[in-house]
Amino acid sequence: MKAKFNFILILLAIWLFQGCKSITGDKIKVHGNFTNLPETWLYIYQVLPESQPLIDSVSTDASGNFSITFPVKNAGFYLLKRNADNEITLIISPGENILLTGNGNSLRNTYTVEGSKDSKLYSEYNQFTATNLTKVDSLSRIFAESQSNPDFIHIKKQLDSTYLGIFNNQKEKVVSFVNNHPNSLTSLLVISSNFGPNPLLSEQSYPELFLKLDSALFQAYPENSLVNTFHLRVLDFKVEMADAREHDKILKAGMPAPEISLPNAAGKEIKLSSTHGKLTLVYFWSSWNALCRQTNMNLASIYTTYHDRGFEIYAVSIDSDTDLWKKSYMLDKAYWVQVNDPKGLESGYCRTYAVKAIPMLILVGKDGNIIARDPVFGDLSGLIKKNL
């Protein structure tokens, strides 16, 4: 009898131990309570580079309580969704026991999270962002209410200045966050985030920050697909930087502008060097690009003003449709040297001049040497006056 009693105690101890220990191995638990969300289905999606597969689902009870357990082999990104407008982003690692609370009517703006370090970090960043976006909403209301005010222009300048301050505050938050958490998957979301419709950071504006994060995350999470996608993005950027350094050697101010020889509308080859002795704007463009068409019209007045004083434009169209190119520059009154390279951005001349996007401008002096590469359009007239 005593032996049987001891056996029952052992079984009870094992049961209690298993019931009290945290989630381990390849499983995680997400549970909690969402007010105002009784008997509602919630869906778990995994975030991958090219898709968001549904992982599992769970329904809240009459009081908004829910609990779900599912396998997670490697740390990654997940969405807990009520619907497309009401979701929570989670950064989950194997073995985590995640507690969520929030208002079911606005999960994204009200939720709290415990039991997942990275998810908590991201919720705190979201709260900071939400505060700044609320400030922007207030500015938008003031803008709308002030349009009939006689002092509207002054008010608008103040609003623009205030918005810029908020935007820069958000940008500083991102830089600080990534620098403080380079080993956190959360930083991958933060560095790629927008503020409203506007991107905050890019590889070009913060190269060292992107390189630092890539190095840390790729070492810590080599099997994460989104980390690998980011790594490939940074590798492409490294190639671009190396390419830019090479182009800087031949395209920096004071270096001879590389020769171009392409046919005009009549099929006659026109060389860039034929414009030596004139201040020349080399202009890569295309008829299908709206910004280029606007640039054509803006250049027309500059050309009219300075052409008789020794200013020329050597425009390289990258249109594959030569008929459309001819009709477009005539319609835009772009009556300067027009040549065509139907190979587009993949042409040898685009590679030589490092043309990644159009319009692209290079101002070349009377001696054939480069004065300015991709100058700000608003500065162009001043540069032309200075160098004529």
pLDDT, tens digit (0-9, with 9 covering 90-100), for 313-356: 999 999 999 999 999 999 999 999 999 999 988 899 998 998 88
The pLDDT value given to residue 17? 37
Q: Exposed, middle or buried: residue 71 (CB in 10 Å: 0-12, 13-18, 19+)?
A: exposed
Average pLDDT over residues 148-160: 92
What is the CATH classification number for the domain harbouring 32?
Answer: 2.60.40.1120
| CATH number of 374's domain | 3.40.30.10
The model's confidence at residue 357, banded by pLDDT at 50, 70 and 90, is confident
pLDDT at 16: 36
Distance CA 373, CA 351 (A): 14
Distance of CA 21 to the CA centre of its chain: 42
User: Residue 243 falls within a domain, yes or no?
Assistant: yes
Question: Are residues 59 and 42 part of one domain?
Answer: yes
Is 3 a member of any domain?
no
Last residue of one domain, picked from the residues 248, 270, 302: 248
**What is the bridge-based pairing of β-strands 261-263 and 198-199?**
unpaired
Let me know whether 76 and 144 are in one domain: no
Q: How confident is the model at residue 383 (pLDDT cuts 50, 70, 90)?
A: very high
Report whether pLDDT(15) > 60. Answer: no
Residues 200, 93, single domain; the answer is: no
Per-residue pLDDT at 335: 93
What's the mean pLDDT when you consider all of the chain?
Answer: 90
Print the domain residue range for 180.
Answer: 124-248
Q: What pLDDT does residue 68 have?
A: 96
Between 294 and 1, the more confident residue is: 294
Q: Is the confidence at residue 20, as pLDDT, over 50? A: no
Q: Is the pLDDT of residue 274 over 90?
A: yes
Rounded to whole angstroms, the maximal C-alpha distance in the chain is 116
Query: What is the rounded average pLDDT of the residues 365-369?
Result: 95
Q: What angle do CA 114, 121, 19 make, to 5 degrees?
A: 25
Instruction: Give, to the nearest 10 degrees, the angle between helix 117-145 and helix 152-180.
Output: 170
> Which residues are CB-contacts of 290 (< 8 A; sequence separation ≥ 6)?
none
Do 303 and 348 belong together in one domain?
Answer: yes
pLDDT band at residue 25 under the 50/70/90 scheme: low
Query: Is the pLDDT assigned to residue 153 strictly greater than 80?
Result: yes
- pLDDT value at residue 24: 53
- Looking at the domain assignment, is residue 101 inside a domain? yes
Mean pLDDT of 122-139: 95
Q: How far is CA 370 from CA 271, 301, 303, in A?
A: 16, 23, 19
DSSP 8-class letter at 156:
H
Same domain membership, residue 234 and residue 142:
yes
Residue 294 lies inside a defined structural domain of this protein: yes
Q: Give the mean model confidence (pLDDT) for residues 29-49.
A: 96
Domain check: are 199 and 236 in the same one? yes
Residue 51 per-residue DSSP state:
-
21 pLDDT more than 80: no
As a whole number, mean pLDDT of residues 51-69 equals 96
Same domain, 227 and 134: yes
| Mean per-residue pLDDT, 169-192 | 97
Given a cut of 60, whether residue 2 has pLDDT beyond it is no
Residues 299 and 330 in one domain: yes
Overall average pLDDT of the 92-120 stretch = 95
Q: Determine, yes or no, domain membership for 14.
A: no
**173, part of any domain:** yes
Residue 56 confidence class, pLDDT cut points 50, 70, 90: very high
The pLDDT of residue 247 is above 80:
no
pLDDT tens digits, 286-315? 999 999 999 999 999 999 999 999 999 999
Note whether residue 8 is domain-resident: no
Query: pLDDT band for position 9 (50/70/90)?
Result: very low
Residues 68 and 133 in one domain: no
d(CA 181, CA 174): 10
What's the confidence (pLDDT) of residue 241?
84
Residue 182 lies in a domain: yes
**Same domain flag for 223 and 302:** no
Contact 368, 257 (CB under 8 A): yes
Residues 186 and 270 in one domain: no
Residues 196 and 304 in one domain: no
**Total structural domains within the chain:** 3
* Cβ burial, residue 107 (10 Å; 0-12/13-18/19+): buried
Q: Which of 65, 85, 115 is the last residue of a domain?
A: 115
CA angle 179-183-186, nearest 5°? 80
Enter the DSSP assignment of 59.
E
Last residue of a domain, one of 89, 115, 141: 115
